């Protein structure tokens, strides 16, 4: 069920993203680079989370298309910049050349900047079907979770921690901010759009936090045990950059146990929030995150 669901959602999400990016023509290298960076593969996990949450809330998923597009643009910009020589210095992403390897380093910086900046045009001007109050909340939430109090903050602490032995709270901060905030964002955004009550919002937010942490723990594990052919990027980069990870701090066996604990709790919370029938797809997604190989 989940595989078919993800394929269908990805096709629709890519169609909507393409429609937004098709409006951009000049400068050509920026327009082309934005398309390359966003539409060169990927799971579309974040926009899919937004749409499936709207569906679970009984809202029309089309109300979330622009916000879902904006979130994927922000995620893609973060990958473009993460891959740069000044950060992770990666040559491949999703089995293809990274943006700076294809277009140049200066161009990649501007392509990433363009994706981030344009995402706020999409989340605001693209949401004119929503009330002004909802648009304001979505813009505020997006800027907070993508910025210094969210993804950027996590990235900065991650850089500062390279080559150091760090304690668990610091590692948790990195994971919950660098990765978790942008997985939490689409769920909270859907709760705003779909007018979820406070209790449901709290439970779904907890679910998103749990799968966000599980996603990063699984990334840590795959960086040790994964394969280039499946990941689309080299393995062992965490060790090369001397980054602290769950396997490095706890050992591989305990890291896998912690991953399962987060997945199990996420499934329980989803059922508490939505009931077994509506939560079924959320339960499947949690299992997928724990078992994925890319």
pLDDT-above-90 percentage for the chain: 71
Average the pLDDT over 1-8 and give the result: 84
Q: Is the pLDDT of residue 236 over 80?
A: no
Q: Is the pLDDT of residue 231 over 80?
A: no
Give pLDDT, residue 249. Answer: 84
Place 241 in a pLDDT band, splitting at 50, 70 and 90. Answer: low
Would you say 187 and 47 are in contact if contact means Cβ atoms under 8 Å apart? no
CA distance 159 to 272: 37
Q: Output the pTM of the full model.
A: 0.88
Would you say 137 and 71 are in contact if contact means Cβ atoms under 8 Å apart? no
| DSSP annotation string for 40-56 | S----HHHHHHHHHHHH
CA distance 250 to 255: 6
Average the pLDDT over 90-115 and give the result: 93
* Of 190, 221, 152, nearest in space to 63 by CA: 190
Letter string b/e over residues 4-21, b meaning 16 or more CB atoms within 10 A of that residue's CB = ebbeebbebbbebbeebb
Length reported for the chain: 294
Q: What domains can you pick out in the chain, each with its CATH number?
A: 2-291 (1.10.600.10)
CA distance 152 to 179: 10
With the C-alpha atoms ordered 204, 207, 213, 214, is the resulting torsion angle positive or negative? negative
pLDDT in tens, 28-86: 999 999 999 999 888 899 999 999 999 999 999 999 999 999 999 999 999 999 999 98
């Amino acid at each position: 069920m989940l595989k078919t669901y993800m394929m269908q959602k990805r096709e629709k999400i890519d169609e909507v993203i393409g429609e937004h990016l098709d409006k951009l023509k000049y400068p050509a290298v920026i327009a082309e680079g934005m398309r390359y960076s966003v539409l060169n593969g990927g799971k579309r996990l974040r926009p899919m989370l937004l749409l499936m949450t709207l569906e679970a809330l009984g809202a029309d998923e089309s109300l979330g298309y622009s916000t879902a597009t904006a979130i994927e643009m922000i995620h893609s910009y973060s990958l473009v910049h993460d891959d740069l020589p000044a950060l992770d210095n990666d040559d491949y992403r999703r089995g293809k050349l990274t943006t700076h390897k294809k277009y140049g380093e200066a161009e990649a910086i501007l392509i990433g900047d363009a994706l981030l900046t344009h995402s706020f045009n999409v989340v605001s001007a693209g949401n004119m079907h929503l009330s002004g109050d909802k648009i304001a909340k979505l813009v505020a939430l997006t800027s907070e979770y993508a910025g210094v109090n969210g993804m950027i903050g996590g990235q900065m602490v991650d850089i500062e921690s390279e080559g150091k032995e760090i304690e668990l709270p610091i590692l948790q901060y990195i994971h919950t901010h660098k990765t978790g905030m942008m997985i939490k964002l689409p769920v909270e955004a859907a709760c705003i759009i779909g007018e979820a009550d406070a209790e449901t919002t709290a439970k779904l937010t907890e679910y998103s936090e749990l799968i966000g942490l599980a996603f990063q723990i699984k990334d840590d594990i795959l960086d040790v045990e994964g394969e280039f052919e499946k990941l689309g990027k080299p393995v062992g980069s965490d060790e090369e950059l001397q980054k602290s990870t769950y396997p490095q701090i706890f050992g591989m066996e305990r890291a896998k146990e912690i991953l399962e604990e987060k997945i199990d709790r996420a499934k329980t919370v989803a059922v508490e929030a939505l009931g077994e029938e509506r939560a079924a797809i959320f339960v499947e997604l949690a299992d997928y995150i724990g078992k994925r190989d890319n």
